[in-house]
Each structure stands twice: as structure tokens, then as C-alpha cells.
Structure 1
Amino acid sequence: MIAVIDLFAGAGGLGEGFSSLRDSSGEPVFETIMSIERDQQIHETLRLRAYVRRILNPDGSVPEIYLDYMRNRNNDSLEKLKAYAPDEWEAACEEALCAELRDGDNTLVELGAERLRKWRASHPNSPFVLIGGPPCQAYSLVGRSRRAHDEDFDKDVKHTLYKCYLAFIQSLQPDIFVMENVKGLLSATHQGHGVFKRIIHDMEEAGYEVRSLVTEHPEAPRDYIVKAEKYGVPQMRHRVILLGVKQGSGIKTGTLEASKTATLRDALTGIPRLRSSFSRRTRELGDSDWEKYVDCAATQILETDEGTCLASVFEKASECGHPMTSSSEHITAVSGKYNSWYRRRFGKSALLTDHDARSHQASDLDRYLFCAAYAEKYGHPAHLEDFPSRLLPNHKNVRENNNSEYKFSDRFRVQMWDRPSTTITSHIAKDGHYYIHPDPAQCRSLTVREAARLQTFPDDYLFEGNRTAQYTQVGNAVPPMLSQQIAAVVADALEVEAKPFVGGVVRHDEPPASN
């Protein structure tokens, strides 16, 4: 078994992929001996997952006590869950640390070295892999565009957090490391110097060769970009991922193997239809009859020049009927392409959590209805230029526009059934305008569970905290299905045969691996 330390772990998407990988005998290839996350709520998610991995039934399914916690999510059910296997809970607490990595403070580096020595005492000659990625906000192209002054960007301490990662490499000398970050890393500068070039230099100075997961002979920074949709993930998520190997080790590494494109429909098969819900302000204004409001909105859209062509779409939607509820706790179908990925640990249970529609202002329901119908009719999302004038948002740069070319013209973005979704980011926690459900009858944005599915988290993965915190955790994560394929590349380099689940099947026609 191969030891793993996960830095800047977040909700655990990268670690989930490594932990879920099985060898040809069905045994886990990797074991996380330490993960670090500084945010308390996110750490609770990470710790819970570390515990769940330890208490799975012999057939790989989750125990009933965990299903009870998924249903209830209260202190009483949590205490019962912890009491179910107290030794395993203690081990999970030891594994998942709530702590902050700081440049120049080697306390956690020393703790990691101690954990590794303890591990190797019982696993002689075990390889060791370091995974994780520094917080990416400092490198985000969107974040940088919003800064008023370049000097604010240069002063951002997040630039130096990769040095914490580097300190672990220098001290613990992993056989292989995996470091993930946003594309903006490639063009970011710090005090006038390219951040990406500096990172590569520092890793090479530490004794490592930095390789690509997409090409054997990288020639430019863009050759380190991994496009998730090429590897079975139903989402267009592009991230920089560096694969570091000790210089002179003789370790040979392969690349990720492309698979058939997965779509939003593949990911959401079986997810129950929901109606949106009204915001408190909307309810206070008296708009509380949802069906009546949506039917009226459709009629008004059809009366506009831009909406006249949508009659057939609205007729088709009405034939399906209005969704009857704004939340659902049960899956409705189990025949989806990715069912054995999302539902593999549930046994006969149809439980589904975190599938609750968020509240929207009434005017946004009109826009969501129009956007979904327009996309179904024309095969592409609407921009503000396509909107009836009555649906244009009351924003300053829209009101003052005179040329019909709007800044952020895709601020209301419907996701398309037969394509991968756009990138799920932490912005989904603020509003759902970029993540409109494609069914016109539902008039809503994606739920936490739907966003988690697009990120390829299995349905038994719980995100602690309130809904805003859950959306943030999902948006900032690495897709576990992609991570599992990266883990398979690492395992193969360390001469362990493994079978990742990709594109609805497991490589080499093996049955799906259970965690």
C-alpha cells in the first residue's frame, strides 16, 4: 500500500480519488496518513469522509448508521455515528487535521515526517506520494481582473503558499507528488516574475522532474493543463496539474487516457425533478402561487418578439407537468450510465441528500424559464442580447447600454443537457445564474447534489455546513473521478496495477471498485 499526505485538502476531492482506487485484487492502492485543511466546516467534511472510509461494510456499502446520519444531519445522529466505531473515529480525527499551513512554519512538516516514519515502521519500503494544491484565488484570472491595483495582487500572501508544499517535498522526499491549481497560475506574476516558471525552478532545485499528465514531452506551460471533460468528467474544468518525480529515480510515468465525453444528462440521470422556490422577499410581495406564476411568466414571454418561437418548447414542458416539490430525498431511477459510480455504496437504499432547490426572486424565475426554453429551442445558451427587454436585469451597465452589446452578457447561463457542464466554481454559492437547470418546467439553478454529481462526487459524499458552505466546498474541489485516474497513473509508475472507473466503465472490463 502507498502512503499519501494531502495538503490544502479542501473537501477531499483529490484524496477521494486516490483512496477509492483498487488494485487487481480489489484492495486499496493508497492510504491517506494525513490531510490538512484550515477551514473548520470544510475540515468537518474531510474528517467525516475519513471516518466513512473506515466503517464501510464488507461488501463496500455504507452502514445503516451512516444512512441515518445522512437522513437527519443533527447532533444526536452524529453522536450515534461516532459511537458506532469510536476507535475508527479517533483514527479519522488523527488523519484529518484542522490546521493552517504557513510559509516558514515547519510544525506540520515535522508532524508529517513523524507520521511517515510511523507508517514505514509497519510498511517497510512503502512508497510515499504527496498530493494537493495551494489555494488558487491569487492565481484566478477572474480574481485578478477584479483587483483595482496590480500591487494588491503582488502583495497577496497566497502566492507563497506553494512554498509550504515545497517544504514538505524538501523534507519528506515523496517518490511522486501531484500538485493542482487553476490555469491562471500559468500567467500569474509575483513581484515581476512568472509564478509558474518559479515553481518549476524550485521543484527542480528540490531534486524533482516535473512532468505532464497529458503529454510525454511538454514544450509549453499549456501542456500541463488537464481538461477534465476529456477524461469522462461531465464538466469542462481545466486545471494545471503537475506530476513530480524524483530525478534519477528511474520512475516512468504515463499520461491520462482520453475517454468518451460525458454530458450533463449522464450525470443527472435519476435525479428527481424539482420546482424552484420563492425568496422571502418575493413571498412578502404576495407572489406565492408557484404554478400560477410560472404559467403567467410563460404567457408573457410568448407575447414578446423574442419569445414567440418558444411555444412548442413550453407546450412540451407543460406535458411533463409542474414538479410538485422543491426538495427530494430519494433517487427516482438507477439506470444511468454513471450509476455504478454515484450509487455504488447504497445497496438497495434510494436515499438522496442535498437535493433542495434554492430560493429565487420571482423575476429570476422568468429569466430561468426563458433561458432554458431558448437553449432547448436553439441548441445554445441565450445571451442578454437575446432577452426580451422586460427580462433584462436592472443592473447599471445594462440600463446605460446603448449598443446592445452587454458586459457579462452570459450572466444568466443555462447548462445544456447533451454537453458537459461549464466549470463548477465556488461562485455557485453566491447565486445560481451561471448554473440554470436545462428543464424549463423547473425554473431553478442546480442543487448542491447536482453540482456535486457534475464534480463526480458519489451520492454518499456529505458536505458539512450550511448550503452556502456546501456549494463552496463543491466548487473548489478536484473531481474525484479525474483524481482516481491520476492516482492510476501514479500507481502504474510505482508498479501497482489498478483499475480506475472512467466513462461509465472500469478499465480492463473489471467490475466497479467499491471504497
Structure 2
Amino acid sequence: MTQWKFEQMSQQFKTVDLFAGPGGLAEGFASIRDAGGGKPYQIALSVEKEPSAFATLRLRSFFRQFAETPKAYYDYLAGYVSKDELISKHSAEWQAACEETAMLELGTAEAADWLNPVLDRIGESAADGTILIGGPPCQAYSLVGRARNRGKVGYDPASDHRHFLYEEYIRILKRLQPVAFVMENVKGMLSARVDGESMIDKIVDDLKAAGGKPDSYVLVPLVADQGSGHVRHIIRSENFQIPQARHRVILMGIRADIFRRAGMSDEETPALRPHPARSTVASVLAGMPQLRSGLSKSPDGAESWQRAAVKAFKNAASASRDDGGWLAEVAKRLSDHSRQIASAEELPPRSSTVVTPVRDNFLGAWLCDERLPVLPNHETRAHMEGDLARYAFASTFAEVFGRSPKADEYPRGLAPNHRNWDSGKFADRFRVQTWDAPSTTVTSHISKDGHYFIHPDPLQCRSLTVREAARLQTFPDNYYFEGNRTQQYVQVGNAVPPLLARQIGELLLQILSQADQRKARKPARQLSFG
């Protein structure tokens, strides 16, 4: 990973985070320190509308108020004290978190009436040192969302307000006039069209002109040597030590006067450079305690699960043998696994609070907290007994072949009763994450059923927990997700990986610090790579 070292900044940038979700972008920016230990980015305001995500966001804002995390915070994660007791012990910090966060539905008149004077105060107090970050909701741009919308009778993209929530981002950008902005969205934005007009072209033009002139902001590609056009703004997380293949459009803009002051051209602008080694699922999940799935629509319990799992592995083995010789090794291992589960004297639990290390030292330094007494949000979901055989087959197939099976590779005896199973449209309907590769993109769909996020250990026969998904998203282990488990999954899936956000924030700070030095008539500092 490209790393820059920063001299102490002459000013602190007040940062506004819109459509913040649980706060992944802000977490990355707020984690950055300059040479003096100062925080170049102060999160001045984070805005989110969904109540459970907002509760997570506010709690994390509270966490960041402390130079040293208080014991009461860890006690809250462990369930020793209530939220009210935590707040009462540190009321000043909680009040600061309340002032830093707002639960608003952006794009409504009510939100604008509250937000406008707050933005004005932030701008006035920042001495021309504000940053705008955020990611307008992406369902209308995502390929899956667009396919789903096409199936709706009478669906009209031009009347779908989600296509135009970015306009609220633009409105705030115009009002705040920050020195820089970062806007994140799905890759599908590049091909989205409304009434024949390219959405990415319109969005880019609007962003560039947000200062009142057509080129008042300069869009800076985040990644070096990535071609031309809008593809320059795609960032592939797996290239930057994130254990997940997540491809997103991230538009970073610098106000033109600041960009000129930094003395850079398009060719000279610093950029992120891919790391030669990739982090994998094993980098963050290997070594965590074994867990079992629960059973839905049937009595749950360790012995009930044992009987259901043994039956599932036997059925998967039989179906694999019936499909011919090419699955012989898979069938053998499925039979072996069924015997292991049947003979186990002690079965794994459904949840664990055991704090476990991270194999990858770089990721471990970011994720782990030596003071953390329990690992939060680490409980399995329940699965239907009929799906256990498919989970068993998928994870054992990956154990043999090193990849997840496609739909047409499943034995006929395990095919689900889905109309589209043989259509080729849902080839990855059941997808196991493999140990030795980055995970596939963690999305909010993980909240639905877990079929796309099967754990790589066959003996656990389950989908990922919230904490496992959070580790793949690089949320620190002390990052607590509020709400019920479904809401927690949605929060994790919708977020920007905080460790990726940190790298983006460091890149932006390199440009701003160069402009800061030029302003002070100091020689430009050289890049320092680590």
C-alpha cells in the first residue's frame, strides 16, 4: 500500500459526511494523523436517515471523542452496562457525538431547512477548510437494481428519485464550497442512463461546475495508470490490501484554485498504486472459533443441528456420486465430513465472543484492539434444512477445486426448486467464499439469506456472521453495529471499507498538504513510500 508521511498541517479540515450509513468513510478519514499526532480531518457532521445505521454512526462518533477509549465503552460491548449507563458516565462526549451526527432524509425540504444553517456555520468556522464526503444511495444505478426495476410494470427511471439523490450532494457541494470532495457509488453508475442521457456524464459535469464555473473543480483519478475516461475513477479494493473484491466508482474533486496552488498537472498528481500482494478471506477469518448455523422452520439446538447436518452431508455425498465420477472426491470428503460431525462429542456454538488475532499483520494492526474483552456481532443466522446440503456441497467443492461451484455443476439431486436455476442468470445463487482469495463484494443482500456468502469451512455449514462480513469490509473489531442482525448486515454491506477510505483520505491530504506548503512558500515535500 502506498503510504505518505505528513508534516503537521497548518489547518484542520472540517469534514461533512452525507448518506453516511454506519460511517465507513468518516472512520477512514478520522483515523489519519499527521507528524505531530494531530487529526487533519475533523468530522464536523455526519448525516444518515436509517435509524439503526444512525445509531451505529452516533455510537462511533462517541467512540472517537476519546483519546483513550473508556472502560465503559468496552463494558457496553460486553453487555455489562446499558446504553443509558454508558451515556451517563460520559455525558459530555455523548453530547459532542449528538452535535456531530444528524438523522435526516436528505433531499427533503425538512432536512434542507435544518441542514442549511448548520452547513453555513461549519463553513464560516472552517476558514476555507472544509471537505465533503459521502455516497448517495446506489440501488437505482446498480446492475442488480436496474434488472429488478426493469421487471416492474410501469417502472420509469426518470421518476425514480433515487437516480437524483446525487443532486442533493451537488446542492450541498455548491453551498459549502469545500476545498475537496469525495463521492462514492457503484460501478453500474458508468452505464446508467435516464431518458437516453448518460448519468455519469451528467454527474461529472455537475460536480465540476459546482463552484459556479464549468471547471471550478478538478476530478483527480485515485488510481495510477488506469486508462482514460470515466474508468479512471474505478477503484478495485482487492488491489489495496482489502480482503474483498469490491469495485466502486469514487470521484475525488479538488477545487481548481487549490489544485493550481499545489502546482500539479494531471500527469503529476499523486495516486494510489496497487499493492503486489493481495489480502484474502483467510487473512482475517482464519483462526476464528468454529460456529454452527442455526435451523429455521424446525426446532433448533446443538443435537438437532447435528442430526440435520449429518443428514445434509450424506444427502450431498449421495447426490454427488449419482452425478458421475468427476465429483468422486467431493463425494468422499462429504462422507468424511458427515462422520466427523456425527462423532463430535462437543459441537460448536452459534455465537462466540472470543477475541481472535488476525493472521495478516497489516490488517491486524488496523482491525484488532488489545483492550477488547469480547468480539461483538458474531452470531450465526439460521438456515433451512434443505439449504444445508447445498452449503455442504458448495464449501466441500471449494475445498477440492479451490473455487465456488456454478449452478450447472451442482448435482441434480441438490438443485433447488427455482424457476431460473437452469437459466444461467443465477449461476452463483449459492456461492462459497474461498480461503485463498479475496471475498466477493459484500453487499446489503447478505441480509436476505446468506446464500452468496457461505463460509469456506465445510464443517461449519453456514453463512458469514456480521462480524466476519465486517472484517472483510475492514471495520475494526471494536466497531459495534446497532440494530437487529438483519439491520447490521445491511449496514456492513452498504458501507465503504474504512481502510480503503483511509487510503483515499491520505491521498487527498498529500495533495492538500502540497498546496498548503506552496501557500506558505515552502519547498514541496517529496513522497515517502512505505
Q: Give the TM-score, by structure 1 length.
A: 0.88
Q: Give the TM-score, by structure 2 length.
A: 0.85
Question: 1:150 and 1:495 mapped to 2: Cα distance?
Answer: 51
Counterpart of 1:209 in structure 2: which amino acid?
V
1:68 to 60, 65, 75: 75
1:275 to 289, 292, 297: 292
Shift, 1:283, TM fit: 2.1
5+ residue gaps, structure 1: 498-506, 510-515
Match of 2:406 in 1: 383
Match of 1:358 in 2: 381
Match of 2:314 in 1: 299
Shift, 1:171, TM fit: 1.6
5+ residue gaps, structure 2: 1-11, 211-215, 516-527
Match of 2:274 in 1: 258
Match of 2:333 in 1: 313
1:341 to 348, 366, 378: 366
Shift, 1:323, TM fit: 4.5
Question: 1:377 and 1:394 mapped to 2: Cα distance?
Answer: 26
Shift, 1:103, TM fit: 6.4
Shift, 1:192, TM fit: 2.4
Match of 2:525 in 1: none
Comparing 125-134 with 413-422, greater Cα deviation is found at: 125-134
Match of 2:30 in 1: 19
Contact 1:313 1:376 in 2 (8 A): no
Matched, 1:369 2:392: yes
Question: 1:313 and 1:115 mapped to 2: Cα distance?
Answer: 61
Q: What percentage of residue pairs aligned between the two structures are identical?
A: 41
SS at match of 1:3: strand
Comparing 426-435 with 212-221, greater Cα deviation is found at: 212-221
| Cα deviation digits, residues 190-214 of structure 1 (max 9, x gap) | 2321111011111222211122111
Contact 1:56 1:63 in 2 (8 A): no
Matched, 1:169 2:173: yes
Contact 2:14 2:131 in 1 (8 A): yes
What does residue range 395-474 of structure 1 map to in structure 2 within 5 Å? 395-398=418-421, 401=422, 406-474=424-492
Question: 2:496 and 2:338 mapped to 1: Cα distance?
Answer: 35
1:220 to 211, 226, 229: 229
Counterpart of 2:186 in structure 1: which amino acid?
V
Question: 2:410 and 2:112 mapped to 1: Cα distance?
Answer: 55
Label 1:172 to 1:41 Cα distance change in 2 as closer, same or farther (>3 A).
same
Counterpart of 1:145 in structure 2: which amino acid?
A
2:192 to 188, 193, 201: 188
Match of 1:501 in 2: none
Shift, 1:56, TM fit: 4.4
Label 1:360 to 1:444 Cα distance change in 2 as closer, same or farther (>3 A).
same
Shift, 1:316, TM fit: 6.9
What does residue range 136-151 of structure 1 map to in structure 2 within 5 Å? 136-147=138-149, 148=151, 151=155
Please give the root-mean-square deviation of Cα atoms over the aligned residues, in Å: 2.4
User: How many pairs were matched up?
Assistant: 480
SS at match of 1:368: helix
Matched, 1:239 2:259: no
Shift, 1:293, TM fit: 2.5
| Cα deviation digits, residues 294-326 of structure 1 (max 9, x gap) | 223323332332453225534378669574211
What does residue range 79-98 of structure 1 map to in structure 2 within 5 Å? 79-98=84-103
Match of 2:519 in 1: none
Match of 2:63 in 1: 52
Counterpart of 2:365 in structure 1: which amino acid?
S
Counterpart of 1:137 in structure 2: which amino acid?
Q
1:110 to 113, 117, 122: 117
Question: 1:431 and 1:335 mapped to 2: Cα distance?
Answer: 28
Question: 2:226 and 2:257 mapped to 1: Cα distance?
Answer: 17
Question: 1:462 and 1:319 mapped to 2: Cα distance?
Answer: 35
SS at match of 2:25: helix
Contact 2:284 2:359 in 1 (8 A): no
Contact 2:318 2:331 in 1 (8 A): no
Comparing 106-115 with 306-315, greater Cα deviation is found at: 306-315
Shift, 1:452, TM fit: 0.5
Shift, 1:380, TM fit: 1.4
| Cα deviation digits, residues 127-148 of structure 1 (max 9, x gap) | 2211001111111111111123
